[in-house]
A and B are shown apart, each in its own frame.
Chain A
Amino acid sequence: MVNIIEPMTQIAQSVRTETPFEPKEKIFEVRDLTVSYSGDPALRGVSLDVYQNAITAFIGPSGCGKSTFIRCFNRMNDLIPTATIEGTILYHGADLYDDEVDPVEVRKRIGMVFQKPNPFPKSIFDNVAFGPRVLGMEGSMDGIVEKALQNAALWDEVKDRLKESALSLSGGQQQRLCIARCLAVEPDVILMDEPASALDPISTTRIEDLMHELKREYTIVIVTHNMQQAARVADMTAFFSVEVSNGDRTGILVEYDVTSKIFTQPSDRRTEDYVTGRFG
């Protein structure tokens, strides 16, 4: 009698229903971070790890400090005189806020895309070339610009009108231009502060598909008030909430886990209330 049942373990394992997210290398380690404006803490005691080549999302109700938090990663809070930071953020093991560290160098490696597309009032070409030029990057500017626009999925739409004003593009195109601008300086990490909240649904989907592409080469961190977006794109999700004590509102980290867990079986009751839409 021929045994028609092959060893089954291999087959069962090859039947994939979903590619599970396996956290690999840590790129950021945040330890007990507190950000205050003029002495009032806006965000307190945050600790988490951001993983390489993953999309990490920060979600939570308004005022929970998620935008403040993401701006710590590229030292943009340095530009606000009243902001002070306690705690540490390690980037590839090195302290981001060490006295010896140059914020300009940080921002070259850790780029940012903003909520409202903010193209410079220059031509499309000059927008993308701005970063490489101010940083003194070597190489042909034409090549750098084309590569960045390709990676931002915008090249085909603008290749014939690079000299036109960037302001003539649609909202979705402008945002992809801002992404291209960011990619042109060859960063390690891309921070996105509500990147699609000012865009229509089709443009939003394009940006989300783009993020999926980009995470192969870059690490992406996004802040979004649209938790469905976080559910769709993020590998890891962090839920922040507001703690009220004596009339002071401070942001805190409630839960940080793999996205499917946050949206199917969150550990914290507050997280569940938020994602089910029952609060916040």
Chain B
Amino acid sequence: MRVTLQEELDQLESALQEEGALVLRALRGTLNALAQQDAELADEVIAFDDEIDAVYLGIQEGIQSLLARQTPVAVDLRLVLAVLHNNLHLERMADYCVTIAKLTKLVQEAEAAETLIEGFEEMGSRAEEMIRVALDSFADRNLDRAESLVDLDELIDRANRRVVHHVLSLGGDPDKREWGLRMIIVSRCLERIGDHAVDIGEQTAFLVTGEFREFTDASHPVDGTTPRHMD
């Protein structure tokens, strides 16, 4: 029943997953460019963002058309709204990848601190993992897995704080200090990518439970062990 509606919902979801795959490729590209200080690769990543924007726009228009014509309700409506939000989150993630790439180009000539680079690779891998978990748990409607994103995010947050420490300890060399500042922004971008992945997880919760809520309350930071369920 309602064959057309179902087809269009399926198309929207699979477009979203495709967009996620594209974001993962952009992230991997920008991480590699950062690690190898490869300006050419960074340029490719920046150009790549146009493609992601095209998909973003396509999904946006698809949602508008679907809402106008099919008037979905209940779980169908929640799905469309969740796709709407996730579309935005993925696009923001892609923008952060671009920011990292631009910063990579800026500090191409600088001398990179080894530990920091390794740290970024670790943060980046974590972020990649979070994106995968977020998208998979959305596809499977797996609430528990979505909630596990909070713990993963905590790890990135801690790594971010360590980067700040490290930059502060870099010393007085102006070149090194400039590089350090830029790297703080890179770190922040990766941390924000993690946050957006958590947001995607929250959309999974909305889709499944109908409750639109944050997994963690800003004024009550989680101790890192048990996520809070607010029933």
Contacts and interface: CB of A to CB of B under 8 A. Distances in A.
Interface in A1-32: 1, 3-5, 8-9, 11-12, 15-19
B2 A209 contact: yes
Given A232-B70, A259-B69, A263-B68, A5 B4 contact: no
Tell me what chain B mostly uses at the interface: helix, strand, loop, or mixed.
helix
A212 interface: yes
Given A18-B8, A209-B3, A231-B70, A8 B64 contact: no
Nearest to A2: B32
Interface stretch (B38-46, B152-160, B167-175, B196-204): B38-46
Nearest to B63: A17
Contact of A264 (B48, B65, B70): B65
B65 A1 contact: no
A115 interface: no
B90 interface: no
A18 B51 contact: no
Interface residue range, chain B: 35 or more
Nearest to B58: A17
B65 A205 contact: no
Nearest to A19: B11
Contacts of A208: 2, 4
Given A15-B18, A18-B8, A209-B1, A264 B58 contact: no
Interface of B: 1-5, 8, 11-12, 14-15, 18-19, 22, 25, 28-29, 32, 36, 38, 40-41, 44-45, 48, 51, 54-55, 58-59, 61-66, 68-71
30 contacts: A1-B40, A1-B41, A3-B44, A4-B25, A4-B29, A5-B48, A8-B22, A8-B51, A9-B51, A11-B18, A15-B14, A15-B55, A15-B58, A16-B11, A16-B15, A17-B58, A17-B59, A17-B61, A18-B12, A18-B61, A18-B62, A18-B65, A205-B2, A209-B2, A228-B71, A232-B71, A260-B65, A263-B65, A263-B69, A264-B68
